[in-house]
Chain A
Amino acid sequence: MTVFRSVLAEVRQRPARLLLTGLAVLVATAFAAGTLLFTDTLRATVRDGVSGVPEGAAVVVDARHPAAGETAEGGPEGLDPALATRVAELPGVADTRAVREGPVALARTGGTADPGYWRVVSDSFQGSLSSYQILRGSAPSGPGEVALTREAADRLGLGVGDRVVLRPGADAADREVTVTALTLGPFLEGSGTVVAPDDTAAELGARSVSRLLVAAQPGVAPAELTKHVANLVSGQGKAHDAGQLRQERLAEHVRSFDQVLVLLSIFTGMAMVSAAIVVAATFRIVVAQRRRQTALLRCVGAGRGQVVASLLAEAALSGLVAGVLGAVLAWLLGQGTVALVRNWLDQPQLHLQVSLGGLVLCVGLAVLVTVLAAVLPAVSGSRVPPVAALGAAPTVDVGQGVTRLRWVLAGLLATGSGGLAALALATSRGDLPTLTAVACSGMLAFGALAAAAPIILSRLARLLAWLVQDLGKIPLRVAVGNVLRMPRRTAATTLVLALGVAMVSAVLVGVSSARASVDEQLAGSRPAALVISPAFPDGPGIAPEVVSELRALPAAGYVTASTETRAGVGDVRGLARGTELSEFPPLRRGVVYEGALTDLGPGRVGLYKDVAERLGKHAGDQLTLHKDGRRVTLTVAAVYRNAGSLGSFALNPTDLAALDPSARVTRVLLDPAPNHDRNQLRAAVDRALAGNTNVVVQAPGDERAAFEEISRVATLIALGLVGITVLVAVVGVGTTLSLSVVERTQESGLLRALGLQRAGVAAALAWEAVLFGGSAAVLGITAGTGYGVLTLTAMSVFEVIAIPYEQLVVVALGLVALLLVASAGPARRASRTTPLQALATE
């Protein structure tokens, strides 16, 4: 009880100190609580969202084969439309609805087909068996009226009243229709959906019935009804209990959110560990500052246990305050975000879900982490001999004599880490064991760094100081001295900072490699300025007159048309493409492992790397391709990487024609003529193909832009996640500096008495922050880049590994800037020290 009273007295005396020690925990708890709120809210949103199975359905019958599997030759598969009437006659059935569905090409009036995958779906727009809710406009009623999902309309920039052209199939005619409504579709099912009433949908190509919805009469058990329906439809489709289906769907979504939660938990864990390291460092300072006071307590008879208990009680209180504030902060941020999103999207279902139990858990975690972090400092702090109360006791780091032990430990850990890294690189299989090896290697490396940090950091700080020695004289010298004086304290804060920076660097390396790889892939698969392909993959391909029209364009330079068919060697099957490489020299720039693409020609074949590996064939070998009983024997001329434009087997068109005389032209590549640019070519092609909804025109730049958008969002999310650790670390440095300022009041006063201006005292602290930041940046960026490259190499994720040097420099500068901001408060306080404080002996 005495212990707790003294803690409360301490807290009453310096309430800010309590918050200061827990600040890092506050940030980490806010993140943990935020994660919880986020996933709970997301889960609730999905649960309440429009389900793929409408409210009124008791039984759902799905066609055995999805309608998308429909082939050009065969008739529509799916359910028999007459089934609906038969099911309706079953006892207990209140209503039925046959949902029609079919692929369609969509184009703006006068344009070519949109590259996305589109389908037409039928819906009633009213009643309990409708899946689409009107958001804007009025439900389409007559022929020539359709609705679009809001997502699809947003992507194309279309609105209510706009007209679009729909083409139900390669051999069907264009139909111009009016968009009368924007709808909200089932979760994650709306990206390319045109919705229309039954008749219109059927006319627009929704020929097959993909699903039958059955409503039950009141009092009829869905399970019973499902059995009856199942008996009736057996062989054609599968009957599901709608309630069960909804549950399954929900479970699927929730599972994917649980995965998100697991991922977020990893980052939360890292933030918590970082916070713990920071708290431990903070407590070590507090304990050192109270050395005198502790010794006095011991003098008057306090036991070591009591001293430890009082420190731990203080830690628990600090953790509690930080945890509660963190949870409140998360709740406030959550409310703000939800309000913001509600203004943005018309998703009326979005409500912040607050689970009290979860928040209490977060606060408990905060207390636990803080107390655990305080144990070691508290125990070592209680070791102060009572006699220390009598003499002046300057703060010095304890345990300096273990340098050799540190080196040995660091050496062992580093060796283990290097071994695992080598193992991961040697196997490079990209499977789970490889990833585990990389992860373990990373953890060992962090351990090695932690063991050697006090030594490495003092050297590094000295090196950095030497590099910038001409910039600041006394303040810099003082700062270096202060950094070196407390190697363990410096190490703890810098290590957390370095961990954060390493994660940021690794993310940046990953993103830049992804970007470079996509660039290369695009260059490989879309080697031309423009690529023309058919809107219907199973249709007749691109008409010969279209090809000749394109060849004749004055704006077009290189033009080639390639044919394709599916063929095989033995039982290895793949896409065979007939391309006349001499017509389009840029194609020869692809990445080649064996042979040369220039050697391709009649009688020769190029192989995609994976196919070559599976066949065990190399350049110079012979192989025989077969298709429907026809055979062609060819010599392997090259093994290449980018399969997008050449196919699994790259043939000369004459050889392909020998294999499949009916092979269609499925791709036309165009480059601009020497005196024309891409835009002129694009304009000329658009003019030539105006209104041809049978073809899709794509420019690699479009895909590039779409990828950029995705990668930008992904980068921001990833950086946000790892940024929390950086934030915790920056808070830690700020805390450490604030406490150091208190500790060094006398020294600051002395400098002021000897004639250092206020700005000079502040500059010394700023330099200290710069040294922290510089050291952490050097260590973190080196480690992060190294492990980023290691992971990518070992996992064979991307074909190209690119290190974003400029971004890494920006990270380093940004970190230093962030730390300067964090040091501003302590610096101001330090500069307010009066010279008289140098004279105060205690």
Chain B
Amino acid sequence: MSSEQRLDAARPAPSSTVAGVPTARVAARTVDLAKVYGRGEAAVRALDGVTLDIHAGRFTAVMGPSGSGKSTLMHCLAGLDDATSGQVSLGGTELTGLSDRELTKLRRDRVGFVFQAFNLLPQLTAQENITLPLELAGRQPDSGWLAEIVTVLGLAQRLRHRPAELSGGQQQRVAVARALVTRPDVVFADEPTGNLDSRSGNELLGFLRSSVQDYGQTIVMVTHDPVAASYADRVVLLADGQLAGEIYRPTPDSVLDALKRLGA
């Protein structure tokens, strides 16, 4: 696809190869990642040797039954949680071994988040919520870029409102704008449509899709909804903390089939 090639050329290539895994552009990567909660008999292996590349400029959905480790995988990738063993890298930076301070800075500058529960600060206006990560970094917002995402997300008339005065769909669009405003390496979305009605949900997924298409944004979305997953370029399936397959150019039906095979 020509637009993808153009984007590939426009974006600087991140560090390219890990031994034996040939790929052109990787936004994030895990190698033999394991995460164990608890100790001794009560130990739970949430992730058990996951090796995965997240392609840059693509929309990746992570799916799996409850307890499959999909959320834990996202937390590790986003620098929210540390790995028990194995490696995680984001945009060429090795995350394992970074201090809390460095991880915080990395999240601030190179990661965007969209949560299920919207998670806006109630005391700030929509605009203040959107520019929060930039302010935390002490950077000035790029006014052209800000205007563009605000317009695209249909928030131009809502910037001075506080979260309590916005609908759920609007709140989640504010969260998306906040995630995009720093032009992060990766946007992580955790069940972003979980609290939305289906119309707002589809609208939001459309926005996420077009941010990948139009701006070359890398997005990783955790979801259990096959319809939501069908907006992605690729679906990664997880079961019992291990990779259980992947689907390129998914449709709701193909995702549903795959999940059924996993026994979800």
- A834 cross-chain contacts in B, Cβ below 8 A: 80
Give the contacting residue for A838; candidates B71, B81, B115, B178; CB below 8 A: B115
Q: Which residues of B contact A752 (CB under 8 A)?
A: 104
- Give the CA-CA distance A446 to B28 in the complex, in Å: 61
A507 at the interface (CB under 8 A from B): no
A755's contact among B75, B108, B115, by CB below 8 Å, is which?
Answer: B108
* A645 proximity list for chain B (CB < 8 A): none
- Contacts A474-B136, A477-B128, A839-B190; A756 near B121 (Cβ below 8 A): no
B133 within 8 A of A: yes
CA distance A752 to B104 in the complex (A): 7
Q: Give min CB distance, B254 to chain A, whole Å.
A: 28
Q: Which residues of chain B have C-beta atoms less than 8 A from A757's C-beta?
A: 101, 104-105
- Asked if B105 and A477 make an inter-chain contact with CB atoms under 8 angstroms apart, the answer reads no
Q: Whose C-beta in chain B lies nearest to the C-beta of A396?
A: B164
- Does the CB pair A756–B117 fall under 8 Å? no
Q: A478–B75 contact, CB under 8 A?
A: no
Bound together, the chains give a CA A279 to CA B246 distance in angstroms of 57
Pair A758/B136 contact, Cβ less than 8 Å: no
User: Is A481's beta carbon under 8 Å from chain B?
Assistant: yes
Which single member of A481, A482, A485, A835 contacts B80 (CB below 8 Å)? A835
In the bound complex, do residue A747 and residue B121 qualify as a contact, i.e. CB atoms below 8 Å apart? yes
B186, chain A: closest CB distance, angstroms: 14
Q: How close is B230's CB to chain A, nearest CB, in angstroms? A: 24
Of B104, B122, B133, which contacts A485 at CB under 8 A?
A: B122
- Interface membership of A760, Cβ < 8 A: yes
Q: Judge if B257 is at the interface, Cβ distance under 8 Å.
A: no
Collect the chain A residues with CB atoms within 8 Å of residue B122's CB. 394, 481, 485, 747
Write out the residue numbers on chain B whose beta carbons fall within 8 Å of the beta carbon of A478: 121, 123-124
Q: A392 an interface residue at 8 Å Cβ cutoff?
A: yes
Q: In the complex, which residues of chain B have a beta carbon less than 8 angstroms from the beta carbon of A754? A: 107-108, 113, 132-133, 136, 178
- B100 within 8 Å of A (CB atoms): yes
In the bound complex, what is the Cα–Cα distance between A392 and B108 (angstroms)?
28
Q: Chain B 71-106, CB within 8 Å of chain A: the 1/0 string? A: 100010000110000000000000000001100110
A751 to B133, CA, bound (A): 9
In the complex, what distance in Å separates the CA atom of A752 from the CA atom of B75? 13
Q: How far is the CB of B103 from chain A (nearest CB, A)?
A: 9
A473 contacts partner chain B, Cβ-Cβ < 8 Å: yes
Residues in A with CB closer than 8 Å to B164 are 394
Contacts A474-B132, A474-B136, A755-B133; is A835 near B107 (CB within 8 Å)?
A: yes
Nearest Cβ in chain A — how far from B104, in angstroms? 5
Q: Indicate which residue in A481, A484, A755 contacts B137 across the interface (CB closer than 8 Å).
A: A755
Check A838–B133 contact: CB distance below 8 A: no
Asked whether A505 is an interface residue with its Cβ less than 8 Å from the other chain, the reply is no
* A750 touches B (CB below 8 Å): yes
Q: Is B109 an interface residue (CB 8 A)?
A: yes
Summed over the interface, the residue pairs from A and B with CB atoms below 8 Å come to a total of 77
Give the interface size class of chain B.
20 to 34
CA distance A750 to B179 in the complex (A): 12
Known pairs A481-B122, A484-B123, A836-B75; A473 contacts B135 (CB<8 A): yes
> Which residues of chain B have C-beta atoms less than 8 A from A750's C-beta?
115, 119, 121
CB-contacts of A355-398 with B (<8 A): 392, 394
* A760 (CB) vs chain B CBs: closest residue: B136
Q: When chains A and B are docked, how far (Å) is the Cα of A181 from the Cα of B170?
A: 91
CB of A313 within 8 Å of the partner chain: no
Cβ of B251 under 8 Å from chain A: no
Is B107 a contact partner of A755 (Cβ separation < 8 A)?
yes
**B178 vs chain A, min Cβ distance (A):** 8
Interface residue? B210 (CB, 8 A) = no
Asked if A753 lies at the interface with its beta carbon under 8 angstroms from chain B, I say yes
Q: Does A694 contact B (CB under 8 A)?
A: no
Query: What's the nearest-Cβ distance from chain B to residue A653, in Å?
Result: 79
Chain A residues whose C-beta falls within 8 Å of the C-beta of B51 in the assembled complex: none
| Contact between chains at A477 and B124 (CB < 8 Å) | yes
Q: Scoring B residues 129 to 150 as 1 if CB is less than 8 Å from chain A, else 0, what string do you get?
A: 0001101111000000000000
Task: State how many angstroms separate the Cβ of A474 from the closest Cβ of chain B.
Answer: 5
Report the nearest B residue to A747, measured CB to CB: B121
The reply on B200 being an interface residue by CB < 8 A is no
Tell me whether A652 is interfacial, beta carbon within 8 Å: no
Within the complex, the shortest CB–CB distance from A452 to chain B, in Å, comes to 22
Q: How far is the CB of B28 from chain A (nearest CB, A)?
A: 16
CA distance A734 to B250 in the complex (A): 54
Q: Is A746 an interface residue (CB 8 A)?
A: yes
> In the complex where A474-B135, A841-B116 touch, is A753 in contact with B80 (Cβ < 8 A)?
yes
Chain A residues with Cβ under 8 A from B128's Cβ? 477
Please determine whether B136 and A756 come into contact, CB atoms closer than 8 angstroms.
yes
Q: B138: nearest residue on chain A (CB-CB)?
A: A473
Measured CB to CB, the nearest residue on chain B to A835 is: B80
- In angstroms, Cα B128 to Cα A751, docked, is 13
**Residues of A close to B71: CB separation below 8 A:** 839
Given A477-B128, A752-B104, A755-B133: A839 and B115 interface contact (C-beta under 8 Å): yes
Q: Give, as a whole number of angstroms, the nearest-CB distance from B30 to chain A.
A: 18
Seen from chain B, the residues whose Cβ lies within 8 Å of a Cβ on chain A are 71, 75, 80-81, 100-101, 104-105, 107-109, 113, 115-117, 119, 121-124, 128, 132-133, 135-138, 164, 178, 190
- State the A residues within 8 Å of B (CB): 392, 394, 473-474, 477-478, 480-482, 484-485, 746-747, 750-758, 760, 834-836, 838-839, 841
* 9 residue pairs, one from A and one from B, having the closest CB atoms: A755-B108, A481-B123, A835-B80, A750-B119, A755-B107, A755-B136, A754-B133, A841-B117, A757-B104
The 17 sampled A-B contact pairs (Cβ below 8 Å) are A394-B122, A481-B122, A481-B123, A485-B122, A747-B122, A750-B115, A750-B119, A754-B132, A754-B133, A757-B104, A758-B100, A760-B136, A834-B80, A835-B80, A836-B81, A838-B115, A839-B80
Extra contacts besides A753-B113, A760-B136 (5): CB < 8 Å:
A392-B117, A747-B121, A755-B104, A755-B107, A841-B116
